[in-house]
Amino acid sequence: MRPSIKHHLPGRLALLVFILTFLQFSPSLRYELLNLDDPLYVTHNTMVTGGLTLRSVHAAFATPHAAMYAPLLWISYMCDVSFLGATPDSPRGFHLANVLFHSINAVLLFGLLQTLSKKPWRAFLFSVVWALHPLRVESVAWVAERKDVLAGFFFLLCVWGYVLGHPQEMGRASPWHRRAFHLLSVLSLAAGLLVKPMLVPVPFLLLALDFWPLRRMEFHLRSIGHDAPRLILEKALYFILAAAGAWLAFNVHRGTGSLETWPLFRRVESIPVHYAFYLFKVFRPRNLLPLYPNLSFSGPDVRLGLVLVLLPSIYAWLSRRRHPNILVGWLWFLGMFLPTIGLIRFGIQSVADRFTYLPTMGFSVALLFVLSSFPRNRFRLAWSACRTGCAMAIVAVLAMMTTQTLSHWKNSDSFYARILQVFPEHPMALYYMAGQEITRHDRFDTAEQLLDRALLSGIKQTGLFQLKALCLYRREGAAAAKEYLLRNSPEQTTFGIWEWNVAVYSHLLKQYDDALAYAEQCRQQTPPHDAGQNNVHLLAMTLAYETGDLPGALFHARQYPPYRELATVTLNELLPYYAILWQSGFRAVALDYFHRLIQTDPRSEESIRLLIGTSPFPQGEPVMLDQSR
């Protein structure tokens, strides 16, 4: 290869990595938002929908939202709104940002692998394999999973900055340049932790990089005893940042009650099972799903998982002198999974494709020197052609599988249809189908049958209880619906959804004191920047008006942005609240109000038709899957 071509090859390959990755995921630019987590993160998040302003940036740093402290995540969505024209009705900008971040991450991984190996074609292959793997689909196609691609961006900057900030990689570069790369690394870790706490294990990964490629430590007792304390102390700032990120995530989750409690012994048992699950998904990516049910496992499953973890671990350790990258890559895979492997559990999902985003980069490192050049010259050309053909075949197969997987994320219908295709009794998919039976076909009997099937799973999900109560309301009345909800009170925060529904049924029963009490609880639990806060103010205004408390009604009305300058509350001002009831399935109550309003003000008929005909039916509460992971 001519020197000029060799010199420009890494840059050209990096551009090709970006183009291939962007083209692979570009169909998602036409996709809709999903009704799962996207409403909580974007659609109903007034902090985001208002765009990038000083006030919204301050709000992002000042308060947790959706059981997370992730200010840079919310700011990234604000930038989509302000600079890419993204809106909940036209989410192309949100999807474009996800695809761009993932494409940039693929280039950063290529650059890191090129730095580690000095072999551009190998770096190209393994960065493309990682970027186009079907396990990446969930992180890229789901707007709510901006956490993965944005945290991945800062993660790669952190690792690359650390590697470049040491003399072994910088050569004769000045100390100023080394300090600049070190600062980049530290700041990137801090920024990544403000997106997602999955970066907590990064300091330990950097210790592994001290072994290879930096060669600042060897994996034997003498070197570990002599060098490890110095290297750990050197990374004090990294460890402090990681500890702060872990503490913050734990306390935010504990404050909302969303930390899943599971017996410690059972959690420890689940770790090898989960590692085995991910190994199978990496090397045999079949039946990939947006929502996996909880893994049920027995003693043999645990033993199989232990074997699948221990055998590669033993091989990596024995190969540490000849192939140190295998050990580092394997430790990367094991270590970056620690926040989500099951020891500490957040949310309702024990496993998910998106959890693989950072850990599977370790395989690109571990396999970097696999299938080295054939030693005999006369076979070298044939061997090179064979390797190239195999590499192209692997990339092509992965690209086809990713295209097929990506198609399941077009909208909520295709999303849940895929889940039901693999798991016909999946409770969340049945919940969605029940909602569609109500909203599209007004078939409450069919919806209730689907909900009963979902509830057989034992899952305690407020959306299921909410729709079941609505079916009971249609069949038996508000008293039965309220009683059902009170019997199924949540064990963790529902972000005000459960309280809202109990307040509404109390209102329908004219139990105004109860309704006000639950409305206040709803206001306290609803995230401060969630549009649901407006619903609470409308409910409180209506309750005060209907009990004759006009000053109280005016006070609550002025908390609702369109009514800030309102002078007095009349029957007309209750229209937004009753429109919400109409959209939520309380048609008879809403119709009674509409008739009263038209009799009082005939001109309001057109407003009623416009209002109840434009807003979509809400599908229960935004279901929290991972919150911070």
3-class DSSP state of 621:
coil
Q: How far, in whole angstroms, is CA 326 from its chain's centroid?
A: 29
Whole-angstrom Cα distance, residue 149 to residue 28?
A: 15
CA 357/CA 152 separation, integer angstroms: 8
Residues of the chain with CATH 1.25.40.10: 424-614
Q: Under CATH, which architecture does the 424-614 domain have? A: Alpha Horseshoe (1.25)
Q: How high is the pLDDT of residue 174?
A: 73
Would you tell me the crossing angle of helices 299-318 and 324-336 to the nearest 10 degrees? 150
Give the pLDDT of residue 628.
38
Q: pTM for the full model?
A: 0.91
pLDDT in tens, 143-190: 999 999 999 999 999 999 999 988 655 455 677 888 899 999 999 999
- The C-alpha atoms of residue 618 and residue 469 are separated, in whole angstroms, by 15
Nearest to 320 by CA among 209, 204, 219, 210: 219
**Torsion of Cα atoms, 532 then 429 then 357 then 18, to 10°:** -90
Distance CA 187, CA 198 (A): 16
Percent with pLDDT over 90 in the chain: 73
Block means of pLDDT (10 residues each) for the chain, 629 residues, are: 71 98 98 94 94 96 91 98 97 99 99 94 97 98 98 98 77 76 97 97 97 88 86 96 94 64 82 96 93 87 96 96 96 96 76 96 95 63 83 96 97 96 93 92 93 90 92 95 94 84 96 95 88 92 95 95 94 93 89 92 85 49 38
**Confidence (pLDDT) at 583:** 86
Angular region, 68: left φ>0, alpha ψ -120 to 50, beta rest: beta
Between CA 266 and CA 272 the distance in angstroms is 11
